[in-house]
A and B are shown apart, each in its own frame.
Chain A
Amino acid sequence: MSQKSEKLIDKKGIRLDGRKPDELRPIKLEVGVLPNADGSAYIEQGKNKILAAAFGPRELHPKHLALSDRMVLRCRYHMAPFSVQERKSPAPSRREVELSKVIREALEPSIFIEYYPRTGIDVFVEVLQADGSTRCASIVAAALALADAGIPMRDLVVACSAGKVDDVIVLDLMDAEDKLGLADVPVAFMPNLNSVTLLQMDGILTYEEFEKAVNLAIEGCKKIYTMQREALSAKYKINVKEVEE
């Protein structure tokens, strides 16, 4: 992270896109957007546009990966070449490999993986446009896709980032704040279990700032959680209407 973090917040404490420090970007969630997937979801958060799909539980290929006492969750986070300013090569980068791993590990604690031994679930996340905090937005969409696929879950996983920009702890970093800010703390959370399933940080924070950032991110998670639940039930409300008609 660079030190050149001037003018990201004005004198009144307003950020580049007009938000207050503890404000989320506008979020749009849609469930069941892909007809071929067992479950799917779409998220727009600021300029982030991300699709997630879940396939399974299904037979695992290659077969030797199957586990006799639980199912295997696999996850691929991928960015479209046109999702960022400079074209990104479609080959998986080291960053994408790491994010695929941490997103999988963020989702896994929520799933009753012991219910489906010898099977697998694949979660595919495709970032169509990236605007900062994509791993968090990806987790929000991926958890909805898993729920939409009817996978038994302990709770929805929800994620949100916090960070430090111009000495202020702020919620939900956008691209410029991510690149020019002083620290970035993505958090994934299961609100009903009060459990943190993903936590990363880069930048420099004192212990007090770290605690403040994590608590702020958790507050953000709780707000997004309400939207997740609404988005899930919205899909089924439409179905009920269709049945009644």
Chain B
Amino acid sequence: MSSIITKVKKKQIAQLIEKGERLDGREAFDYREIKIEQGVIEKAEGSARVLLGKTEVLAGIKIEFGEPFPDTPNEGVLTVNAELVPLASSTFEPGPPDENSIELARVVDRGIRESKVIDVEKLCIEPGKKVFVVFVDVHVLNHDGNLIDASALAAVASLSNAKMPNYDIEEGEVKIQPGYVPLPVKKHPITVTFAKINDKLIVDPWLEEEQVMDARISMAVDDDGNICAIQKGGSGYFAADQVFEAAKIAKEKVKELRKKLGW
């Protein structure tokens, strides 16, 4: 990003925000339109396509048999991966995951894991030996800002759409049976991301706002209104009070989004 253009743009965006306006006509704490479509990939065990304005993210679930981690022998395994696919933005490059995609995956992972979206104990087949491994793969298809919220929505939506293989244990052997059972999804956390531009907070920054923001902070809120994951990003800072303000707004915003989404 050319820094001179960024500075001019930042001035324009910041002046608007000062007046309580934004370039795309939203108010400070308005989300863009959210569209969720589940079951879009037939070969995946679960899938969801999320549109957050023009940001588009596709998440797919694959479920395999595997071994549990030695320290949690009674629990299935959940892994989240994120791909910033080069077709989604001119700034994404092919190659091994960079720090941005690793951070995105780990923030989405934290929201799902800490709020206990899936009951990992129900994924255990034989303690210490055989469990289900659930892979959540998030593919960013169009980058127009706020990938964290869109990816978190896609991950939860695809998990609640997922099915896992039916099985029986006959004479100590696992036998796959025809048909599927739904994945035990218990919670639906929602993540709210704030951008800080010249000391003002806005939610759901789109690309141009993200390019000029000083810092961002994402907060995942579970079904009971508890905070279950937080991540600050960007090279700026937040005033201590701003963090609390953001947490309060996030809680309210999640309530509102829950009603809209029917979660």
Measured CB to CB, the residues of A under 8 A from B are: 1-2, 67-69, 94-95, 97-98, 100-102, 104-105, 108-109, 185, 189-190, 193-207, 210-211, 214, 218
- Asked whether B226 is an interface residue with its Cβ less than 8 Å from the other chain, the reply is yes
Stretch of B19-27, B55-63, B235-243 on the interface side = B235-243
What chain A residues lie within 8 Å of B215 (beta carbons)?
105
At the interface, yes or no: B64 with Cβ under 8 Å from chain A?
A: no
Given contacts A101-B103, A195-B240, 13 further A-B contacts (CB under 8 A): A94-B97, A98-B103, A101-B99, A102-B103, A102-B232, A105-B234, A196-B240, A196-B242, A199-B230, A199-B232, A200-B230, A207-B247, A207-B248
The interface residues of chain A lying within 8 Å CB-to-CB of B113 are 202
In the bound complex, residues from chain B placing their C-beta under 8 Å from that of A198 are 232
Residues of B within 8 A of A105 (CB): 215, 232-235
Which among B232, B243, B251 has the highest number of chain A CB atoms within 10 Å?
Answer: B232
B125 within 8 A of A: no
Using a CB–CB distance below 8 Å, which chain B residues touch chain A? 3, 72, 97, 99, 102-103, 105-106, 110, 113-115, 215, 217, 222, 225-240, 242-244, 247-248, 251
B234 to chain A, nearest CB (A): 6
Q: Contacts A204-B115, A210-B247: A197 and B237 contacting too (C-beta < 8 A)?
A: yes
Using Cβ atoms and an 8 Å threshold, which residues of chain A touch B243?
196, 199, 214
Partner of A193, one of B114, B233, B237, B251: B237
Of the residues B99, B103, B230, B235, contact of A201 by C-beta under 8 Å: B230
Looking at chain B's contact residues, the main secondary structure is mixed
Which 5 pairs from chain A and chain B are nearest by CB? A201-B230, A195-B237, A108-B235, A199-B232, A109-B237
Known: A109-B235, A202-B229. A98 touches B102 (CB 8 A): yes
Specify the main secondary structure of chain A where it touches its partner: mixed
Q: Which residues of A contact B232 (CB under 8 A)?
A: 102, 105, 196-200
- Complex formed: what's the CA distance from A211 to B222 in Å? 17
Tell me if B3 and A67 are in contact (CB < 8 A).
yes
Chain B contacts for A214, CB-based, 8 A: 240, 243-244
Given contacts A102-B232, A214-B244, A196 and B105 within 8 Å (CB-CB): no
Can you name the residue of chain A whose Cβ is closest to the Cβ of B219?
A201
- Residues on B with C-beta less than 8 A from A201 are 227-230
Question: Is the beta-carbon distance between B235 and A68 smaller than 8 angstroms?
Answer: no
Q: List 26 A-B contacts (CB under 8 A).
A: A94-B106, A97-B102, A98-B99, A98-B106, A102-B231, A102-B232, A108-B235, A189-B240, A193-B237, A194-B239, A195-B238, A195-B240, A196-B242, A199-B217, A201-B228, A201-B229, A202-B113, A202-B114, A202-B229, A203-B114, A204-B227, A206-B225, A206-B227, A207-B247, A211-B244, A214-B240
- Give the distance to chain A from B52, nearest Cβ to Cβ, in Å: 23
